[in-house]
Structure 1
Amino acid sequence: MSERSTEHTTITIERHFNAPLPRVFSAWAIPEQKRQWFGCHGDWKPLDFHLDFRAGGSESNRVASTDGVVHAYQARYIDVVPNERFIYAFDMMLDDVRISVSLATVSFAEEPGGTKMTFVEQVVFLDGYGDNGSRLAGTEIGFDNLRLYVEGDDTRPN
């Protein structure tokens, strides 16, 4: 049997968007919009995606990396207050191995010229998975993509 372990950490990211709060919130909530920005590797192959954004709803996303490893994300939405916050729990897997379990809170506030978003993820890395900062880096890239999406010109396809 392999060695079992847990390593806890908290990731906090604050972002400011030059976009109205409803546009930023909708980018998380509407499946067709979230598919446009969610992810951190544009060269990975999408396998499946599902989003039911409501308290009690779920989300799943599976992609294959360029070396064929399947990265799977499975979430359950616990609390959704439109244009204010949402809370969800999720796990991440590499092929059939669960590497982490997380609880995340995303909150929003209007500010002059746009929206402030605060993301807090309490993560548990499992059984010796050596993250080495890749979760933070991947999340930052995803939020860079979110910025491009919500601040983009409405006349061009996103």
Structure 2
Amino acid sequence: METANNTLLTVETTVNAPITKVWDYWNAPEHITQWCQASDDWQAPAAENDLRIGGKFFTTMAAKDGSFSFDFGGEYTDVEQYKRIAYTMSDGRKVQITFTSEGDFTHVTETFDAEQSNSLEMQQAGWQAILNSFKKYTGEN
């Protein structure tokens, strides 16, 4: 997929948890499978993560009713523990995530290349919904 005129989209949130917990929950497969969905009718039944430059990751995202599933994955291009992760998705688009510690809170910002298949608003809403799911899961557990 090509990016839509190299448009960058950004989603962000502040999580009620310290940076060490946020980092662990963001990267550990046993946590990824608990939060990586945009709505309650979706799930992430599988996740693998090799968090290092050149390492690969993938997450299977699936409708709970079994009607649709897809793998989301890529390769890491930058990893700075507790600060930044960058990767290239399997379709060539780039993503950067920054983590900013604010005491017992952590600010997470994701910036990603848009794609051409869906509207910018839909993409931003979908990524924000997943980030909101992360915030809820991490803050409550």
TM-score band by shorter chain is: 0.7 to 0.9
Match in the other structure for 1:116 = 107
Are 1:104 and 2:95 matched, yes or no?
Answer: yes
Q: How does 1:75-154 map to 2 (within 5 A)?
A: 75-91=74-90, 101-125=92-116, 129-131=117-119, 133-152=121-140, 154=141
CA deviation string 1:9-36 (max 9, x = no partner)? 2111221112101111111111111111
Partner Cα separation in structure 2 for residue 37 and residue 19 of structure 1: 15
Specify the SS of the correspondent of 1:151.
helix
Identity within the alignment, %: 23
CA deviation string 1:68-112 (max 9, x = no partner)? 343231211111111011101114xxxxxxxx5421111111114
Describe the shift of the 1:41–1:78 C-alpha distance in structure 2 as closer, same or farther (beyond 3 A).
same
CA deviation string 1:35-63 (max 9, x = no partner)? 11112133246564322222211112233
Q: CA RMSD in A?
A: 2.4
Match in the other structure for 2:27 = 29
Describe the shift of the 1:46–1:23 C-alpha distance in structure 2 as closer, same or farther (beyond 3 A).
closer
Q: Give the letter aligned to residue 4 of structure 2.
A: E
- Is this contact kept in 2: 1:30–1:53, CA < 8 A? no
Unaligned runs of 5+ in 2: none
Specify the SS of the correspondent of 1:145.
helix
Matched residue pairs, number?
A: 139
Partner Cα separation in structure 2 for residue 148 and residue 47 of structure 1: 18
| Structure of higher CA gyration radius | 1
Q: Which has the higher relative contact order, 1 or 2, with Cα contacts under 8 A spaced 6 or more apart?
A: 2
Higher relative helix content: 2
- Is this contact kept in 1: 2:49–2:56, CA < 8 A? yes
Unaligned runs of 5+ in 1: 92-99
Describe the shift of the 1:6–1:24 C-alpha distance in structure 2 as closer, same or farther (beyond 3 A).
closer
Describe the shift of the 1:151–1:90 C-alpha distance in structure 2 as closer, same or farther (beyond 3 A).
same
